[in-house]
Chains A and B, each alone.
Chain A
Amino acid sequence: MKSEIRNEKEILLKLDDVHVHYGGVHALDGASVAIDEGEIVALMGPNGAGKSTVLKAIFGIAPVHSGEVLWHEKRFKPVPHEVVARGIAFVPQGRRVFKYLTVEENLEIGGFIVGDKKELARRMAEVMETFPALKAKRRTKSGTLSGGQQQMLAIARGLMVDPKVLLLDEPSLGLAPKIVKEVFENIKEINERHGTAIVVVEHNIKSILGIVDRAYVLAKGKVAAQGKPEELLSSGVLEKIFLGEK
């Protein structure tokens, strides 16, 4: 299952043999991941496998010890504000909306690098169209929104920069199953409507495999398997990694 099964589209983003160390702990131990234009890719694996660290390494908020991060096949040193400017948006784990700010203010923060007020307004209108529930609550303090609405706001905030790649860290965390379904539908819709490539770290394997094009399975900081959802499901690799079956 380690064969490179990807389509013919251009590689947007690539991690090549990346090592991330937190003191003596090797969170990533030579992980290589590639994201093509317009695809949805899942990063799966047990706790501590290094899934979230992959996203943090791309975004420059994890200490990359060695290896390369490439954007359009060109090496770059990830620094958050430069990564955003390249067209990569990050929706961190736990939503982390600014609770004392309104929905609109949260979105304006998301569009910080846009600069031009007209363009910011245009993007806000577009994002509100994708998430109509937010439009009705635009002047509401985000701390009073439900968990599902906060997750939508977190994703919407990431979309404010019109990203080419959207990194989502456990978007279903702490949400009711009905809301998780809604969030995943939103993810699919964003991908189809805007052609945004999406990398999603997710524990909810069954649900996420229903919407992704490919998935990487990580274990102990390495890529243990990768492939299309149906191949991963039929191969038994998921049971082996998650349940330790031989």
Chain B
Amino acid sequence: MEYLIHLAVMSSIYAILGMSLNLVVGYAGLLSVTHAAFYGVGAYAVGILTVSRGYGFFEATAIGMVCAAAAAWFIGIVSGKFKGDYYALVSFGFNIIVFSIFLNVQSVTRGPLGIPGIPKPELFGTAIRTNAQFLILSIVFALLTYAISQWIVKSSFGRALKGIREDEDALRVFGYDTARYKRIIFMIAAMLAAVAGSLFASYISYIDPSTFSLNESIFILSLVILGGLANVNGSVFGAIVFILLPEILRFVGFPPDIAAQMRQVAYGAILVLLMLYRPQGMFGEYKL
């Protein structure tokens, strides 16, 4: 049972990451490969502030969200000058920069040693100690992310995001300040990714830079593409499949030394097959 609860917690965390990235990639059409950086900012905010500074989980999460939004604002200003493939390359670069900060600013992040002993959250003075309790917390955050995402995409703001995705220059003709819209959605997505990061840090109780590398950004992007661009439900589906897939592969019987590589092969194969046969993903309305 604990095993299933663990999978459900991880699925909830990745659903938050998927839904938030879908706002940027699926709805606004900005091919961002930097989401793991914001995920890491949230995780490190909780790790550093709860372990070294005595902050509570929720305070640290709020600070992490603000830090992620500030980083997204800066990255958004720079990357906003680029479009298409160049935008993806710039976002790629930012993920590497943030990863390098996690790895090298050892006085703050402890570098490759990581931060152990991250405490579990406390709610109204009661610690969330069991995985089942944590599952409830992570599902609540996932549902909040779902509600926020649905509210955004059904609003006039969401309509403008779709307009940016389809034809940004045409949208400007109607008086839209498209750069502002792009910055705002990038900041919202970064804040939600930071929430996922804070949940992850608190749940696993240990973080190190390797979790927030470029590979992780590609992994999150892949689950968004699998579920479908511009479909919030699709991102939840993608997260569940990508969390469960390695567990299914456990039962195939690969030797332990090649099992991890086979997971990467399976993710890669899924992406290639999707691009060939269903580029809009399982439930997407739009293809890259």
Contact = CB atoms under 8 A, between A and B. Distances in A.
Interface string B135-172: 00000000000000000000010011011011101111
- In the A-B complex, list the 7 residue pairs whose CB atoms are closest, starting with the nearest: A81-B175, A84-B175, A96-B170, A113-B175, A98-B166, A112-B174, A90-B173
Given A99-B166, A100-B285, A100-B286, A109 B172 contact: no
A98 B173 contact: no
Interface in A89-114: 90, 92, 96, 98-101, 105, 108-110, 112-113
A22 B230 CA distance: 36
Nearest to A99: B166
Contacts of A81: 172, 175-177
A74 B173 CA distance: 22
Contacts of B175: 80-81, 84-85, 112-113
Interface string A105-145: 10011101100000000000000000000000000000000
Given A81-B176, A100-B285, A100-B286, A109 B171 contact: yes
A98 B163 contact: yes
Given A61-B172, A80-B175, A109 B160 contact: yes
A109 B286 contact: no
Contacts of A105: 159
24 contacts: A59-B173, A61-B172, A81-B172, A81-B175, A81-B176, A84-B173, A85-B175, A90-B173, A92-B173, A98-B162, A98-B171, A100-B162, A100-B230, A101-B163, A108-B156, A108-B159, A109-B163, A109-B171, A110-B174, A112-B174, A112-B175, A112-B176, A113-B174, A157-B174
Interface string B272-288: 00000000000001100
Contacts of B162: 98, 100-101
Interface string B169-207: 111111111000000000000000000000000000000
Give the contact-size bracket for chain A: 20 to 34
Most buried by B among A59, A80, A101: A80
A101 B172 CA distance: 16
Among A61, A84, A98, A108, max chain B CB count under 10 A is at: A98
A80 B159 contact: no
Interface residues of B, number: 20
Contacts of A98: 162-163, 166-167, 170-171
B167 A96 contact: yes
Contacts of B172: 61, 80-81
Nearest to A98: B166
Contacts of A85: 175
A109 B163 CA distance: 8
A109 B174 contact: yes
Contacts of B165: 100
A88 B172 CA distance: 13
A99 B173 CA distance: 16
B241 to A, nearest CB: 25
Nearest to A160: B174
Contacts of B170: 92, 96, 98
A183 to B, nearest CB: 19
A96 B172 CA distance: 12
Interface in A30-86: 59, 61, 80-81, 84-85
Contacts of B169: 61, 92
A232 B179 CA distance: 44
A77 to B, nearest CB: 16
Nearest to B176: A112
Contact of A84 (B159, B166, B174, B285): B174
Contacts of A99: 166
Interface in B29-85: none
Nearest to B165: A100
B54 to A, nearest CB: 47
A92 B169 CA distance: 10
A84 B172 CA distance: 10
A236 B170 CA distance: 37
A113 B286 CA distance: 27
Given A92-B169, A112-B175, 9 more contacts: A81-B172, A81-B175, A84-B173, A98-B166, A108-B156, A108-B159, A112-B160, A112-B174, A161-B174
B279 to A, nearest CB: 14
B89 to A, nearest CB: 25
